Amino acid sequence: MSSNELIRHFLTQQIELGGSSVVLPRAPGTEVDAESEPRAGAVAGAEAPAREEERTESWTAPDGRVVRGSAERVELAKLFYEEGSCTRCALGASRTRFVFGTGVPDATVVLVGEAPGAAEDRQGLPFVGPAGKLLDELLAGVGLDRASNVFICNVLKCRPPGNRDPLPEEVELCSPILRRQLEILKPSLIVTLGRFAAQALLRSDAPMGAMRRKIHSYGEIPLIATYHPAYLLRNRQAIAEVEADLIEAAKLIGGEGG
């Protein structure tokens, strides 16, 4: 994918997420107005916090395009632009699309999964198949959604062939992208989905059962671990456990269930 296609793809994602006034540039030097962001930080039933991001910044990409918007939006665009052609590990050669993440730049909660699957690889977006639909339903139950107050991404940005488990060296090589995303997003809470994401962020080899129902920390950010929605599709009885974890998550950020 060319750099132009990468930035266009990123900005298209932002439009899909509600940034309706984002204007895709038609020529180098055209300004991208990313001012109109979806209202973020609000968990249903709670007063939305003041939006620091209302200040506007701009960045001129190497191809002359100008991205304007909140500091977080501009920094995410820069990161997407810098890393979208990454080939640090072998997955860079086999992927269809680099799957950066989706959501709002001033997210209250960042959800981190394992790696893109087949549908994600085709579309370039995380959690778009049946597992993603189930995740969206569970998030809606506690007033969270990717268009308002959530950002969703994976530890790996490229699909492992055949949906095999990520290799330790792939996780190591890809981790700087996730770390930078979290530095930019500065969420109030991280929720990991599945064992790999929890182990990667907590640098632990503990099993899933030992990591659930505790409040961990990633730096100064509280982190809770829950099951991956793909696991829930195979084990419907675990849905209630994830609902309970998400209620705890909502309590931590002062939203529904709190």
> Nearer to ligand SF4 by C-beta: 109 or 153?
153
Using CB under 6 A as the binding criterion, the count of chain residues that bind ligand SF4 stands at: 13
Residue 204: how many other CB atoms lie within 10 Å: 14
Q: How far apart are CA 155 and CA 166, in angstroms?
A: 9
Member of 87, 163, 217, 235 binding ligand SF4 (CB under 6 A): 87
Using rule CB under 6 A, residue 97 touches ligand SF4: no
Task: Please identify, using beta-carbon distances, which residue of 96 and 204 lies nearer to ligand SF4.
Answer: 96
92 binds ligand SF4 (CB under 6 A): yes
Q: Applying CB under 6 A, does 153 fall inside the site for ligand SF4?
A: no
**Window contacting ligand SF4 (CB under 6 A); options: 53-61, 63-71, 81-89, 217-225:** 81-89
Among 109, 174, 189, 250, binds ligand SF4 (CB under 6 A): 174
With both helix axes pointing from N to C terminus, report the angle between 239-252 and 130-140 in degrees, rounded to the nearest 10: 50
72 part of the interface to ligand SF4, by CB under 6 A: no
**Among the candidate windows 52-60, 171-179, 221-229, 245-253, which touches ligand SF4 by CB under 6 A?**
171-179
256: left (phi over 0), alpha (psi -120 to 50) or beta: beta
Give Rg (Cα) of the chain.
18
CA distance 200 to 228: 14
91 binds ligand SF4 (CB under 6 A): yes
Q: Residue 138 or 177: which CB sits closer to ligand SF4? A: 177
Residues that bind ligand SF4 (CB under 6 A): 86-89, 91-92, 156-158, 170, 173-174, 177
